[in-house]
Amino acid sequence: ENADVDTHPTWPEELARVYREAGYWRGETFGEVLRARADGCGERVAVVDPVSGARWTYAELDARADSLAAGLLARGIGKGDKVVVQLPNVAEFFEVIFALFRIGALPVFALPAHRFAEIRYFCAFTGAAAYVIAGEHGGFDHRTLADRVRADVPTLRHVLVADADPGSHERLADAHAAPVPVPDPPQAHEPAFLQLSGGTTGVPKLIPRTHDDYLYSIRASNEICGVDEDSVYLCALPAAHNFPLSSPGTLGALYAGARVVLAPQPAPEVAFPLIERERVTLTGLVPPLALVWLDAAAHRTEDLGSLDVLLVGGAKFSEEAAQRVRPTLGCRLQQVFGMAEGLVNYTRLDDPEETVVTTQGRPISPHDEVRVVDADDNDVPDGTDGALLTRGPYTIRGYWNAPEHNAAAFTADGFYRTGDIVRRTPTGHLVVQGRAKDQINRGGEKVAAEEVENHLLALPGVHDAAVVSMPDAYLGERVCAYVVLRAGVEPPRPVQVKKFLRERGLAAYKIPDRIELTDAFPVTGIGKVSKKELRAAITARLHEK
């Protein structure tokens, strides 16, 4: 599984030229952007971390990125190396990623919820040279996990811990050194990092995003969401996720010379006081959290008057909930339908209210090509449901080192098959109608059915497994696993199955919420497991009660 060479398809040269000439790709890198802000507005506060009390200015963040870059180079980490970054919402996240951007090493963005199964895979698959963690987080000791991964992955030479007690590893704070010139700085057309795909396959796919393409999406997002140097962005979702990172997210705020405030948790008890104290102007939430905020706003007393824009995306936001945003939170709503692979759609701040509450927005760029097609890839008329295909100036042409999967996930002419079923309105806005990919969207957290099925098949006594979504009033969907046992096997209790998966090191959000034992799976006409029937069966069962 460990590839020696980095490969992935990229944009054809004639289109790359169009994107450059349109001014989308400006040949600028993230490291240079931070330097320019440090030069232009160095004394302004860039990052606020209420847990550590850090309030880093642009000049400080810039200096920290430089000294960490020097320390990483001294440890033999340099251009093209991969570094798995698994940090919660702490200021160090930014010094780490900007240090890596500066030396041209690629952060691999893990989520705090990931465990041994995911982290070991990211490290092994990318041949990661280092892994950056926060000692303990959410009651879990990442240092111990790092020990296990290190024993398993020979390329992993460094574990850096952003915490006072690094255990058997090295303290991130000790990895800073006197700044040195970077020998071989990255170029803007090269990948800046590997982002995680929501995934539909047995193992997660990695997404190479270039400085050029990502900076374009961020700059354009800032314009669409009204982000300027006076904005204050509250990062309430996990910072490494593509939505809070780039839509317009923390990187949008930093691009604008604005301020990022890091919420250690998205709960209203934590986030509302931060909004009041730091005069937050915009933030992004997944629909279940938006619901919690809407309910909490009725009884909490904090002044949320500074909040101007709430972005909601990652999963479908219901029209009823969308209608409550303005009256309840006193701010404007922007729906955002995006994906780590690229394409991001926003409702516009000047769209009619009807459009804002009933659609998931329209693409960022005039150069985003969007097709809505039937099963034979023929375009369907506006207003008709179809599969969404897209290509454009910030949508990848292929996953990192995944040629076989790329052949299925992209058309021959480079359109990404999003797996989303949408309808296009006459104004070009998209309404998400469903999904044709084998994935569960658990309140914005994506679970690849096949990945969970593979883990279930490792449980002794399991003959077959099929993982499907089941409806849920709060999360939209939850994860249901149907399991067929071998003949004569004593049926396990659901808690035993869940415990088995946890012990294998699967992230908590992927552990099935419900386990259904069955004798056989319904099959389709061509003999495949009919997930449609399984979804219908579990939905009916839930309604029985």
Among 252-260, 307-315, 506-514, 520-528, the segment contacting ligand J2J (CB under 6 A): 307-315
Using rule CB under 6 A, residue 336 touches ligand J2J: yes
Kindly state the smallest distance separating residue 435's Cβ from ligand J2J, in Å. Answer: 6
What does the DSSP assignment read for 237-290?
S-TTSHHHHHSSHHHHHHHHT-EEEE-S--SHHHHHHHHHHHT--EEEE-HHHH
Residue placing its CB nearer to ligand J2J in the complex, 271 or 344: 344
Residue placing its CB nearer to ligand J2J in the complex, 258 or 344: 344
Kindly state the smallest distance separating residue 287's Cβ from ligand J2J, in Å. Answer: 8
Give the type of residue at 392: G
Q: How many angstroms separate the Cα of 219 from the Cα of each of 35, 37, 226, 257?
A: 17, 14, 11, 12
Give the Cα separation of 160 and 176 in Å (integer): 11
Binders of ligand J2J in range 220-279 (CB under 6 A): 242-243, 246-247
Residue placing its CB nearer to ligand J2J in the complex, 360 or 469: 360
Sheet holding 476-485, edge to edge: 462-472, 476-485, 514-518
Query: Could you say which DSSP state residue 17 is in?
Result: H
Using rule CB under 6 A, residue 422 touches ligand J2J: no
Backbone phi and psi for residue 192, each to the nearest 5 degrees, phi listed first: -95, -30
Among 107, 112, 338, 363, binds ligand J2J (CB under 6 A): 338
Using rule CB under 6 A, residue 120 touches ligand J2J: no
Per the listing, tokens 């709503």 go with 333
Number of residues that bind ligand J2J (CB under 6 A): 23
User: Tokens in use for 500?
Assistant: 């088995």
Q: How many angstroms separate the Cα of 465 from the Cα of each of 190, 277, 371?
A: 40, 49, 34
68: alpha, beta or left, given left = phi > 0 and alpha = psi -120 to 50?
alpha
Residue placing its CB nearer to ligand J2J in the complex, 136 or 377: 377
Kindly state the smallest distance separating residue 217's Cβ from ligand J2J, in Å. Answer: 8
Using rule CB under 6 A, residue 390 touches ligand J2J: no
Give the type of residue at 310: L
Among 135, 313, 398, 512, binds ligand J2J (CB under 6 A): 313
Binders of ligand J2J in range 426-465 (CB under 6 A): 432, 435, 441, 446
Give 398's contacts (C-beta < 8 A, 6+ positions apart): 8, 9, 10, 406, 409, 410
Residue placing its CB nearer to ligand J2J in the complex, 67 or 390: 390
Among 105, 262, 291, 339, binds ligand J2J (CB under 6 A): 339
Residue placing its CB nearer to ligand J2J in the complex, 175 or 339: 339
Give the type of residue at 349: L
Kindly state the smallest distance separating residue 267's Cβ from ligand J2J, in Å. Answer: 20
Among 14-22, 138-146, 309-317, 519-527, the segment contacting ligand J2J (CB under 6 A): 309-317
Kindly state the smallest distance separating residue 286's Cβ from ligand J2J, in Å. Answer: 8
Kindly state the smallest distance separating residue 314's Cβ from ligand J2J, in Å. Answer: 4
Among 146-154, 296-304, 310-318, 367-375, the segment contacting ligand J2J (CB under 6 A): 310-318
Kindly state the smallest distance separating residue 62's Cβ from ligand J2J, in Å. Answer: 26
Give the Cα separation of 522 and 515 in Å (integer): 17
- Strands, DSSP E only, in 9-67? 45-49, 54-57
Strands 82-86 and 106-109: parallel
Among 420, 451, 453, 477, binds ligand J2J (CB under 6 A): 420
Residues β-bridged to residue 109: 85
Among 33, 175, 192, 315, binds ligand J2J (CB under 6 A): 315
From first CA to last CA, the distance across the chain in angstroms is 45
Give the Cα separation of 259 and 37 in Å (integer): 12
Which residue's C-beta sits nearest to ligand J2J? 338
Backbone phi and psi for residue 415, each to the nearest 5 degrees, phi listed first: -75, 135
Among 10, 126, 335, 365, binds ligand J2J (CB under 6 A): 335
Using rule CB under 6 A, residue 316 touches ligand J2J: yes
Residues β-bridged to residue 296: none
Which residue ranges make up the site for ligand J2J (CB under 6 A)? 198, 242-243, 246-247, 313-316, 335-340, 344, 360, 418, 420, 432, 435, 441, 446
